[in-house]
Amino acid sequence: MTDYLLTDCHVATMAAQGSAYGAIEDGAILIRDGRIAWVGPRADAPAADVVERLDGRWVTPGLIDCHTHLVFGGDRSREFEQRLGGVSYEEIARSGGGIVSSVKATREAGEDELYASAVARLEGLKATGVTTAEIKSGYGLDRDSELKMLRVARRIGAEAGVRVRTSYLGLHAVPPEHKADRTAYVDLAIDDILPAAHAAGLVDAVDAYCEPIAFSGEEVSRLFDRAKTLGLPVKLHADQLSDGGGAALAAKYDALSADHVEHTTEAGVRAMAEAGVVAVLLPGAYLMLRETTPPPIALFRQYGVAMAVATDCNPGTSPVASMTAALNLACVQFRLTPEEALAGATRIAARALGLTDVGTIEPGKAADLAVWDITRPAELCYWLGKPLLHARYVSGLRA
């Protein structure tokens, strides 16, 4: 067993207690067997077999993108042009565009093609410090295509230098072949596709899109009831375009997270707080849709709702493949502090995925780390587009 010491660095542990960012100035980190064995002041560092000096750089936990749609076929740049011309997202969706327009391309793409395109997008996340990413299905909307997407997501986690958590998002949109009988599709998604995906070991959590243009609270409840019988945690696209009671529904099912939440009311925030549901903020979608109602950040702070930040990388409403860009947008658009934003991409993002062994730099945690060419942690939220990453470590190995 080789002990590996990173030294001559500043460490933003992002632990909940202590100084801002959990910072250790002039620190060191001991890695043993892929995990953090010790962290503290450099003067107290234990001996190690291998020592790497970081020349005063900052080290943070590897960033965690807890909401992505990274696997999909094609793109929707044409819809981007339409929105710039004044057509709303809802109008595009109701006319057969939006999510449904990605379904055809995803169904037609083979697994190798989907893998190659997703890994190309993943490079942007990795270059901005991501070591863990959540990847959803939801662009297949039939049994074979949904399982295909989830298999590709698992392959990314095995081969592409990041940890991956998968979410089954069967209730994302009604596919064209079921437009005249949405109940038949809801039955298929709940009673056929989800059990098949679970039996194949492809699902870590179950998600749904609860909006008037998507699925009702009653339909989502059926899905979540089935998820619970399978022992799977749930999460929800909630209150993005309207107040549909999504936050309260997520709280009712003890969801890991409610995501978007721009239109969540105080009652919904209170329910989230009581249930311990994380609010996942998605400033990329807010920007691209030119929304004007931000999430209720003051209420989240007042009631103690933990806030995560993610890219929502997807082909239609958030073609964002940079985690540091998401941090910047969360600060500029939603007025998060840099420390809140960075916690939202580390410690809180881990919680939003139900993970306990990543997200902070503490003994016993996985040695998933990002090393940065910065002079203070706030720079991760300050710069927009400047390359800042020096190195990434996944399980103690450069990745």
Query: What is the four-CA torsion angle of 338, 340, 342, 347, rounded to 10 degrees?
Result: 170
Map tokens 């939003």 to a residue: 352
Beta-sheet strand order (sheet of 163-171): 63-65, 130-136, 163-171, 205-210, 235-238, 257-260, 278-281, 307-309
Q: CB–CB of 339/379 below 8 Å? A: no
**Is 316 annotated as ligand-binding?**
yes
Interaxial angle between packed helices 143-159 and 99-108, expressed in degrees from 0 to 180 and rounded to the nearest 10: 80
**Is 317 annotated as ligand-binding?**
yes
Q: Can you tell me the distance from the alpha carbon of 100 to that of 15, in angstroms, rounded to the nearest whole number?
A: 41
**Is 192 annotated as ligand-binding?**
no
Query: Which residue, 334, 350, 295, 293, is CA-closest to 134?
Result: 350
Q: Can you tell me the distance from the alpha carbon of 156 to that of 118, in angstroms, rounded to the nearest whole number?
A: 8
Query: Which residue, 133, 170, 140, is CA-closest to 154?
Result: 133
**Is 264 annotated as ligand-binding?**
no
Q: Distances from the Cα of 36 to the Cαs of 29, 65, 227, 367, in angstroms? A: 7, 21, 34, 5
**Is 312 annotated as ligand-binding?**
yes
**Is 222 annotated as ligand-binding?**
no
CA-based end-to-end distance of the chain: 20
Q: CB–CB of 36/363 below 8 Å? A: yes
Report residue 205 as tokens.
């959590």
Q: CB–CB of 285/318 below 8 Å? A: yes
Report residue 14 as tokens.
């992002």
Other residues' Cβ atoms within 10 Å of the Cβ of residue 231: 7
**Is 44 annotated as ligand-binding?**
no
- Beta pairing, strands 50-61 & 369-372: antiparallel
**Is 76 annotated as ligand-binding?**
yes
**Is 237 annotated as ligand-binding?**
yes
Question: What are the binding residues?
Answer: 67, 69, 76, 139, 172, 237, 240, 312, 314, 316-317
Question: What are the binding residues for Zn(2+)?
Answer: 67, 69, 237, 312
Question: What are the binding residues for N-formimidoyl-L-glutamate?
Answer: 139, 314, 316
Question: What are the binding residues for 4-imidazolone-5-propanoate?
Answer: 76, 139, 172, 240, 317
